[in-house]
Amino acid sequence: MKYFIVEGNLKSSDPIDDNIMKEHMAYSGKAMKEGSILMTGLKEDMSGVVFIMKAENPEKVEEYLSKEPLKIHDIQEYKVTEFSPHYFNESPKEWFSV
């Protein structure tokens, strides 16, 4: 399995249509439930999103992104960076708790 940091950048600061946002949330939620996305979150400046994903190869990430509603509607573009984790926190849920 390979690991990727995916950075999404909004192409415009215009509000996103509620129906498109619901499609996006359902699509992302499905990937999280299936276990291919570890975590996702909005950038602090609200200019896009960052998420960590695992896939067999970069082509699978591109396949996922090609069906992503914000990309389909030309609202967000993505930069994908593959990385090889070698250290990790054993308790990520505790690490992210408030």
Total domains present in the chain: 1
Instruction: Give Cα separations from 61 to 12, 38, 44, 64, 78 (angstroms).
Output: 23, 13, 24, 5, 11
Q: For residue 10, what are the domain limits?
A: 2-96
pLDDT at position 96: 77
Interval 4-14: pLDDT, tens: 999 999 999 88
Q: Which residues contact 58 (CB under 8 A, 6 or more apart)?
A: 2, 4, 80, 82
- Write the CATH number for 59: 3.30.70.1060
Mean per-residue pLDDT of the chain: 94
- Give the E-state strand segments of the chain in sequence order: 2-10, 37-42, 48-55, 76-83
Give the β-pairing of 76-83 and 48-55: unpaired
Give CA–CA dist 2/31, Å, rounded.
16
> Would you say the pTM of this structure is higher than 0.85?
yes
